């Protein structure tokens, strides 16, 4: 089955996500300094750098939590800078939230909360079980099951989230963001806190998501093994500046990158950590 032909899915191919000249300051500290890069449609683009390099700040600019003092973020023809996070998500650029998944309900309940933003039938029609609302609800449930299948959660769909392992809860987080039908998925340290087995599984999930949904993925990550195995392109930040950009092989050999990492004693981009 073509997973993107379902009535409730968003069928467009992703457009470029263009970050241009973005500068962010916090009380005199320049956390991002004139940073530019483009996420090519359908690619996995990693943003890496030593501690304090500006990765999280960059992520927060992309998702709309931080507003830069100068520079722009564009998704296709849409200017994202200055828009609220929910407006950015509605335009097709969605992020995962670490604490948004509730342990109260089942996996399906969580994913259906994610579908809520796409629901057209009003509260009253849904509450009265009017036929069009019931049809729409069924279509959303079917799509939520498809998405659960893509991230490997199908057999857990009706189980309470509280009973899942940490790795599976992280999948619920990703699936919930995917329920918004984004064309660009922003992942902030997707394997943080995972053990080796969970990390290996997470790499496969991210690959499958990209292949089956054809979306672009922006990855902010400390785990160099994951970045080197998954990314098509890597942007390297240090002290808020972009110091390198290229394929994983290009950046791992870049003298500026080696200097930045060796200077901090952090895990270098040459190491396969996971």
Ligand X SMILES: Nc1ncnc2c1ncn2[C@@H]1O[C@H](COP(=O)(O)OP(=O)(O)OP(=O)(O)O)[C@@H](O)[C@H]1O
Given the rule CB under 6 A, which of 54-62, 77-85, 88-96, 127-135 is the region that contacts ligand X? 54-62
The reply on whether position 52 binds ligand X by CB under 6 A is yes
Element (H, E) at 123: helix 123-127
List, in order, residues 6 or more apart from 55 with CB less than 8 Å away. Answer: 47, 48, 49, 220, 237
Residue (45 or 55) nearer to ligand X, CB:
55
The reply on whether position 212 binds ligand X by CB under 6 A is no
The reply on whether position 57 binds ligand X by CB under 6 A is yes
Residue (26 or 123) nearer to ligand X, CB:
26
Euclidean distance between CA atoms 16 and 67, whole angstroms: 20
Task: Give the DSSP per-residue string, 153-191.
Answer: -GGGTTSBGGGS-HHHHHHHHHHHHHTT--SEEEEESTT
The reply on whether position 167 binds ligand X by CB under 6 A is no
The reply on whether position 51 binds ligand X by CB under 6 A is yes
Q: Do 214 and 11 touch, CB atoms closer than 8 A?
A: no
Q: Least distance in Å: CB of 192 to ligand X?
A: 10
Question: Binding pattern to ligand X, positions 19-48, x when CB under 6 A?
Answer: -------x--x-x-----------------
Residue (66 or 157) nearer to ligand X, CB:
66
Residue (81 or 110) nearer to ligand X, CB:
81
Q: Least distance in Å: CB of 52 to ligand X?
A: 4
The reply on whether position 184 binds ligand X by CB under 6 A is no
Alpha-carbon torsion (160, 115, 187, 218), positive or negative: positive
Euclidean distance between CA atoms 97 and 124, whole angstroms: 29
**CA distances (Å), 68 to each of 30, 58, 96, 142, 217, in order?**
11, 9, 21, 39, 22
Joined tokens for residue 223: 């785990």
User: Contacts with ligand X: how many residues (CB under 6 A)?
Assistant: 11
Residue (198 or 267) nearer to ligand X, CB:
267
| Binding stretches for ligand X (CB under 6 A) | 26, 29, 31, 49, 51-57
């Amino acid at each position: 089955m073509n997973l993107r032909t379902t009535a409730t899915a968003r069928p467009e191919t992703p457009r470029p996500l263009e970050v241009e000249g973005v500068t962010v300051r916090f009380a005199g500290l320049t956390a991002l300094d004139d940073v530019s890069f483009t996420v090519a449609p359908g690619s996995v683009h990693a943003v890496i750098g030593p501690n304090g390099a500006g990765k999280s700040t960059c992520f927060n600019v992309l998702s709309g939590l931080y507003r830069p003092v100068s520079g722009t973020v564009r998704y296709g023809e849409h200017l994202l800078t200055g828009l609220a996070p929910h407006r950015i998500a509605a335009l097709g650029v969605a992020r995962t939230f670490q604490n948004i998944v509730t342990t109260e309900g089942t996996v399906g309940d969580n994913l259906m909360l994610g579908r809520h933003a796409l629901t057209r039938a009003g509260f009253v029609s849904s509450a009265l079980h009017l036929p069009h609302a019931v049809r729409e609800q069924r279509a959303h449930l079917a799509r939520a099951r498809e998405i659960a299948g893509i991230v490997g959660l199908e057999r857990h769909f009706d189980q309470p989230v509280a009973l899942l392992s940490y790795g599976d809860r992280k999948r619920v987080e990703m699936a919930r963001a995917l329920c918004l039908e984004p064309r660009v998925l922003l992942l902030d340290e997707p394997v943080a806190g995972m053990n080796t087995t969970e990390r290996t599984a997470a790499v496969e999930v991210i690959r499958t998501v990209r292949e089956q949904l054809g979306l672009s993925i922006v990855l902010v990550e400390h785990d160099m093994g994951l970045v080197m195995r998954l990314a098509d392109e890597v942007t390297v930040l240090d002290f808020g500046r972009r110091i390198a950009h290229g394929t994983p092989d290009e950046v791992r050999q870049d003298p500026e990158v080696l200097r930045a990492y060796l200077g901090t004693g952090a895990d270098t981009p040459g190491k396969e950590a996971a």
